[in-house]
């Protein structure tokens, strides 16, 4: 069977040169972040010489190439980025600075380099006056986990079974939810 490729019309109002510019921008941003992560100072220098604005590029979390290099302790990349005018106290979406990322991962040489360029340990859990390790937030409780004491099993029904146990439809705060109930023989937890 052959496949048919249809040309889609673009109703967004942008022309092909706009799309090409966006594609180039995304590619260059990806490259500068990649080279920062892999401590490739010569490739960084080449990119930044061609497009100095890339020193302030950001990923989807607002992390600059300097954040990425500091997070992984890539000293040559940090030095190159600082030499090209990177903001030593740039903040990502968690309001963490590159120095906070370097401190959080115990990259002491990178910490000293950033401090020598005026870096401050800034972050949503840190202080600008004392050095604190500030990693991006990681949830202790996942959004999809709920407190078992809030479940109402009074009108629950079994909606599935398997070798591990059964799946029930119960209510949580008036909302129907699916609940996995593990067979007691499969768990060491006395509450199961």
Does residue 98 contact residue 67 with C-beta atoms inside 8 Å?
yes
| CA geometry: angle 14, 16, 19, nearest 5 deg | 70
Helix, strand, coil distribution of the chain in percent, nearest 5: 40, 15, 45
Question: Which SS3 state, helix, strand or coil, does residue 101 take?
Answer: helix
Exposure string over 64-98, b if 16+ CB within 10 A, otherwise e: bbbbbbbbbbbbebbbbbbebebebbbbbebebbb
Q: Tokens at residue 189, please?
A: 């937890």
Q: Is 7 annotated as belonging to a binding site?
A: no
Residue 138 CA to residue 135 CA, distance in Å, equals 8
- Residues of each annotated binding site for ATP: 180
- Residues of each annotated binding site: 180
């Amino acid at each position: 069977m052959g496949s048919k490729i249809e040309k889609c019309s673009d109703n967004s109002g942008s022309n092909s040169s706009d799309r090409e510019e966006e594609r180039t921008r995304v590619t260059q941003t990806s490259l500068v972040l990649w080279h920062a992560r892999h401590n490739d100072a010569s490739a960084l220098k080449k990119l930044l010489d061609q497009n100095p604005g890339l020193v302030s590029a950001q990923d989807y979390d607002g992390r600059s190439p300097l954040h990425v290099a500091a997070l992984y302790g890539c000293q040559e990349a940090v030095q190159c980025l600082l030499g090209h005018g990177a903001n030593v106290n740039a903040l990502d979406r968690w309001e963490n600075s590159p120095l906070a990322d370097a401190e959080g991962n115990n990259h002491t040489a990178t910490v000293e380099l950033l401090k020598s360029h005026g870096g401050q340990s800034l972050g949503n859990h840190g202080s600008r006056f004392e050095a604190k390790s500030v990693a991006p937030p990681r949830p202790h409780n996942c959004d999809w986990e709920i407190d078992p004491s809030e479940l109402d099993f009074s009108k629950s029904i079994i909606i599935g079974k398997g070798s591990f146990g059964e799946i029930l439809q119960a209510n949580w705060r008036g909302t129907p939810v699916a609940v996995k109930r593990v067979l007691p023989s499969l768990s060491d937890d006395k509450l199961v």
